[in-house]
Amino acid sequence: MFEKALGLPLHVLVVHAVVVFVPLLVLLALAYIVLPRFRARLDWAVAALAVVAPITAWVATRSGDALQARQIERGFSGEILDKINEHAAHGEVLFRVTLGLGLAVILLLVATSNHPRVPKLPGWVTAVLSVVVLGLGVAALVYVWLTGHSGSEMVWGNTYE
């Protein structure tokens, strides 16, 4: 299921969605936090990205696992397999951080919604959730870079030196 799409390895297609949606989630979540007057305009986009970004990261990890298994079947071993494993480890952390970020963002959206069914929460809850979102956002950006860099180094190596 996660091996090919349109005759290409699914992984090389879906990683582009991760590189777009995760940083976009971080950027819009930051805007949601620091620009409270625009929250009503941003909430739907932030909520959608809080769901879509972790899904794309999950599909990237599963498709990466399928590609890795295929490469092992083809005889990849040694240094290249070590690089693949490092890349996969970064991708797994990225998925977990992005999942946590998505959940924290949804909790922040609920806490700031002023919906009648949401109980009035102390002000510190929003502040704590904002700090958690910012921390996870920074971690997500770091792991997008680490994962993408290790993957592109594997594929492109020293091609442009």
- Is the Cα torsion angle 17, 21, 157, 154 positive or negative in sign? negative
Predicted structure pTM score: 0.89
25, 15, 13: which is closest to 149 by C-alpha?
Answer: 15
Q: What percent of the chain has pLDDT over 90?
A: 61
Give residue-wise pLDDT tens across range 104-157. 999 999 999 877 776 787 889 989 999 999 999 999 999 999 999 988 888 777
> Are 144 and 94 a contacting pair, CB within 8 Å?
yes
